Each structure stands twice: as structure tokens, then as C-alpha cells.
Amino acid sequence: MKLFRNGRNQAVRIPREFELTGEDAIMRKEGDRLIIEPAPSKSLLALLATLSPIEEEFPPIADPHPENVQI
């Protein structure tokens, strides 16, 4: 992979097979390694859309009606 300059910044082209999802990324250094990863989703709906459905059956939960409450 070849590094190049883009104005005052150093840049690298990311091959299609390493393309990140979304529009934002996080970059950090660990020793001599540069790590680039997709930024976490900003909305709960976006996060929920990435989760797999739960296959587990949940037991029924007793949900008694509240007694009459006087205000």
C-alpha cells in the first residue's frame, strides 16, 4: 500500500475489500500500528438495526392490574 500527500495530510487509499460502513471512522495508534474502525452508531434505532433477532423463548411474566389508587 502506498502513502501519499493530500494537502498537508498524509493519506492512504483503502481498497474496496476493506471499505468501512457508515460515514464516520475512529482512528487510533497502538504502538506502531494505526487502527481505523467504523464510528459507533449515533442513534438507538441504528444500533438496534445491526442486532440479530433473539431466538430464545421468554417465560410468561405475571402482570397483575394495579389496585384502585385514590389521589
Domain membership of residue 12 (yes or no) is yes
Q: Which of 18, 24, 19 is closest to 38 using CA atoms?
A: 24
Domain membership of residue 23 (yes or no) is yes
How far, in whole angstroms, is CA 9 from its chain's centroid?
Answer: 26
Tally of domains in the chain: 1
**What mean pLDDT is predicted for residues 24-43?**
91
Q: What's the pLDDT score for residue 29?
A: 96
Q: What's the pLDDT score for residue 9?
A: 95
C-alpha cell at 58: 421468554
Q: What's the pLDDT score for residue 50?
A: 85
User: What CA–CA distance (Å, rounded) separates 38 from 40?
Assistant: 6
- pTM, rounded to two decimals: 0.50
Domain membership of residue 30 (yes or no) is yes
